[in-house]
Structures are given as structure tokens and as C-alpha cells.
Amino acid sequence: MNWYAIFAIYVLFWVISAFIVLPFGLRTPDETGEVILKGQADSAPSNFRPGIVAIRATILSAVLFGIYYANYVQGWVTLDQFVRLS
């Protein structure tokens, strides 16, 4: 596997991980006791911290990519195993 493929697959894992961790830790203005501004949605987060989301996504994507790469090198699960099942 070349470096371009490793980078591209890691970026895909990072984007998916960012969407997975995005809702964790968010609070609405009702939960934090803040006043809702005119035009603001009731469900809009009042404590969104993109840095924390990026750190969490980086950690999760590193773990998931590590598992993916270990499977690629060791060959634990291959396409041939799925073909035999059908």
C-alpha cells in the first residue's frame, strides 16, 4: 500500500469519525439555561467546540485505521472468505 492510499483512507476514516463524535457532549440552550436568541433554533448547540470534536475524531480515526491496516497486513478478513459463504 503506497502513501497516497494510506493518506486517502485515513482521511476517509477521519471524516466518518468526525460525524460519529459530533453529537457527543453538545448541550442545547434549554439544558445550559441560556436565553435563545431571535431566529435561533431550539436545537442549536450552545457549547459547540470544534477543537474537541477534531481531537476526538483524530483519536477514533487512528484506532479504526490501525485496525484496518493491521487487517490489511495480517489478512484476518479477506474478500475470499465472503465469497465462500455465499
- Provide the pLDDT for residue 84: 64
Contact 10, 65 (CB under 8 A): yes
d(CA 16, CA 41): 25
pLDDT, tens digit, 9 for 90 and up, residues 5-57: 999 999 999 999 999 999 999 998 888 888 888 998 888 898 899 999 999 99
Contact 46, 34 (CB under 8 A): yes
Measured from the Cβ of residue 21, the count of other Cβ atoms closer than 10 Å reads: 19
Cell numbers 480515526 correspond to: 61
pLDDT, tens digit, 9 for 90 and up, residues 53-83: 999 999 999 999 999 999 999 999 988 887 7
Helices (H), the chain: 3-21, 29-32, 50-74, 79-85
- Provide the pLDDT for residue 86: 52
85 pLDDT exceeds 70? no
- Provide the pLDDT for residue 83: 75
- Provide the pLDDT for residue 72: 95
d(CA 25, CA 37): 21
Domain ranges of the chain: 3-85
